[in-house]
């Protein structure tokens, strides 16, 4: 048998021992697929991890998959990695968007026990203000302000009231369950929603026994996921003093808050002041919003309460005046 025939015979014998069908030549696997650890693209377990991380963080599937691959399938490390990456992206985007006008946004009202806070967070468009992620940012700001107020060690013999500006708000801690400051949450929100945003201001009120805080938010929105936070475009707190806790004080407080939002007084005034007209700026001398035939003082006096102070927030207040200047 010649050498050529011998080669053909050997080749035919080898082919006969192989399964029928075309011969497929497989390329060697790249080195990174041979590393130990979860195979995220095919494992049912890894798909479950991917879904769990997606639900927990809200980030895209692509980013969650990348996080799990980077962290070797460790869910906790992957979540931390995602937040750090989002933080970097958020700060980068915040720097690019800085200076753009933020005329829209929301007022947030939060009450807990004897403490009430009012906050304002601004964005560029009304569309973003209706986004749940933006509303969650307002909630975080309100909770941060509430915790700040509750941590103040003061013995109340009368009511106390305070204000926080934008820079003071930014440095407040988020809360016991999260690390970082409110400015970090602001950067995350900017990174996710792609608009410039500002933590504009906050006000807080604490009252002892014998006082109560009436409140009102115009255009109020409630969300089950935001607990007892109330959102809107205007908000007011009215601090009242009363000798006894009576039924209907909550409704009275809401009506007083409506008046403050609608009539925009600049001071409380006195029951002895002469009644004023539409241009009157003293609250008790103004025509009562819901019954202009009487003054607010004439409405309040028979109720057995005294109005001592108030706070009024209007979303975007001051922006138009600043732009005009």
By percentage, how much of the chain surpasses pLDDT 70? 78
Q: Which tokens is 137 given?
A: 């940012």
Alpha-carbon span 83 to 28, nearest angstrom: 36
Alpha-carbon span 113 to 312, nearest angstrom: 21
pLDDT band at 157 (very low <50, low <70, confident <90, very high): confident
Residue span(s) of the chain under CATH 3.30.479.20 come to 104-314
By percentage, how much of the chain surpasses pLDDT 90? 50
Residue owning tokens 């970090």 = 184
Alpha-carbon span 68 to 74, nearest angstrom: 6
pLDDT band at 287 (very low <50, low <70, confident <90, very high): very high
Alpha-carbon span 9 to 41, nearest angstrom: 44
Residue span(s) of the chain under CATH 1.10.8.10 come to 62-97
CATH number of 104-314: 3.30.479.20
pLDDT band at 178 (very low <50, low <70, confident <90, very high): low
Q: Is 293 exposed, middle or buried (0-12, 13-18, 19+ CB in 10 A)?
A: exposed
Model pLDDT for residues 81-118, shown as the tens digit of each residue: 777 777 666 666 667 777 788 999 999 999 999 999 99
Residue 2 has pLDDT above 90, yes or no: no
Tell me the pLDDT of the chain averaged across its residues. Answer: 81
Q: Which residues contact 300 (CB under 8 A, 6 or more apart)?
A: 256, 284, 306, 307
Residue burial 75-100, b: 16+ Cβ < 10 Å; e: rest: eeebbebbbebbbeebbebbeebeee
Average pLDDT for residues 286-305, to the nearest whole number? 95
Query: What architecture (CATH level 2) is domain 62-97?
Result: Orthogonal Bundle (1.10)
Residue 149 has pLDDT above 70, yes or no: yes
Alpha-carbon span 14 to 8, nearest angstrom: 10
Q: Which tokens is 86 given?
A: 């989002």
| Crossing angle for the helix pair 75-97 and 61-70, to the nearest 10 degrees | 120
pLDDT band at 146 (very low <50, low <70, confident <90, very high): very high
Higher-confidence position of 46 and 230: 230
Residue 177 has pLDDT above 70, yes or no: no
Model pLDDT for residues 30-83, shown as the tens digit of each residue: 323 334 444 444 455 578 888 888 777 767 677 788 888 888 888 888 888 777
């Amino acid at each position: 048998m010649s050498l050529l025939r011998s080669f053909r015979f050997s080749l035919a014998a080898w082919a006969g021992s192989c399964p029928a069908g075309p011969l497929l030549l497989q390329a060697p696997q790249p080195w990174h697929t041979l590393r130990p650890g979860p195979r995220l693209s095919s494992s049912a377990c890894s798909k479950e991890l991917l879904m769990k991380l997606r639900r927990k963080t809200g980030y895209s599937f692509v980013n969650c998959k990348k996080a799990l691959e980077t962290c070797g399938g460790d869910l906790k490390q992957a979540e931390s990695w995602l937040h750090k990456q989002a933080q970097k992206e958020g700060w980068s985007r915040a720097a690019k968007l800085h200076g753009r006008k933020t005329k829209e946004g929301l007022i947030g009202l939060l009450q807990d026990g004897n403490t009430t806070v009012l906050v304002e967070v601004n964005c560029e468009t009304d569309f973003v203000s209706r986004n749940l992620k933006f509303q969650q940012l307002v909630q975080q700001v309100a909770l941060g302000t509430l915790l700040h107020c509750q941590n103040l060690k003061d013995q109340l013999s009368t009511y106390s009231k305070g204000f926080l500006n934008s820079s003071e708000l930014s440095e407040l801690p988020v809360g016991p369950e999260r690390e970082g400051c409110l400015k970090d949450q602001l950067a995350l929100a900017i990174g996710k929603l792609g608009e410039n945003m500002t933590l504009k201001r906050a006000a807080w009120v604490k009252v002892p026994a014998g006082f109560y805080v009436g409140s009102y938010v115009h255009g109020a929105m409630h969300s089950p996921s935001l607990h007892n936070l109330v959102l809107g475009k205007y908000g007011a707190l009215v601090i009242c003093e009363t000798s006894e806790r009576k039924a209907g004080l909550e409704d009275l407080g809401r009506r007083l808050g409506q008046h403050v939002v609608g009539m925009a007084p600049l001071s409380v005034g006195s029951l002895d002041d002469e009644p004023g007209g539409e241009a009157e700026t003293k609250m008790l001398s103004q025509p009562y919003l819901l019954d202009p035939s009487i003054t607010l003082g004439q409405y309040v006096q028979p109720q057995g309460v005294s109005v001592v102070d108030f706070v009024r927030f209007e979303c975007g207040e001051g922006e138009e005046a600043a732009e005009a200047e």
